[in-house]
Amino acid sequence: MPGDITDRLEIRELVDNWVLWRDARRWDRFRTLWHPEGRMWATWFQGTYEEFIKVSQEGFDRGARIVHMMGGTTIDFAGTRAIAQSKIAINQRAPIEGVLCDVECTGRAYDFLEKRGGKWGIVLRRHIYEKDRIFPVDPGTMPRLDPHLLAKYPEGYRHLAYLQAKVGYDVKRDLPGLAGPELEALYAQGETWLNGGAIDLVPRAS
């Protein structure tokens, strides 16, 4: 195939497999998507991919139900480095104020990738949280939300954070959304990566 088509196909398959293997808990396969230092940042977790596997499985065993859907992907290349952005929806189900609810958050996965030994892998995965909503599984019921807790979190993932805080997670409060300085800072990190520079793998406390 001409040009970078094979690289694009490999990366697209990689980001699709992230969703499929993570949600199916195929951790043996999921590990193959990462480089050794690979790290994952999400609302409720920031750490190595091995730690992410551990806490994801522990959460599932306790009853946590989180699934993802993928949309289109765009990829920027600079030699053996790439940034892939993919439309993503995160859906989590849990009781909120005594009412079983689904929260759906739509946004983008933002992957820092590198090709080593002829194989692409993830060095860092982050998410951009653009908008979310909460709706009861039974449409005849509706939870009464605490407005003070809701207001603590950014608009793009406010309801997802509310649910996650209620089930015991410490939710990070300064993640990028549809616009704003956090999003611009992430874009700047992407440019640094493509230009051969080092990026922050450990987030600052929020």
* pLDDT tens digits for range 99-151: 999 999 999 999 999 999 999 999 999 999 999 999 999 989 999 999 999 99
State the pTM of this model. Answer: 0.95
**DSSP for 45-75?**
-EEEHHHHHHHHHHHHHTT-EEEEEEEEEEE
List of domains in the chain: 5-189 (3.10.450.50)
Return the residue matching tokens 């690979």. Answer: 38
Q: pLDDT tens digit string along 38-75?
A: 999 999 999 999 999 999 999 999 999 999 999 999 99
Per-residue pLDDT tens for 14-23? 999 999 999 9
Query: DSSP letter string over 88-146?
Result: EEEEEEEEETTEEEEEEEEEEEEEEEEEETTEEEEEEEEEEEEEEEEEESSTT------
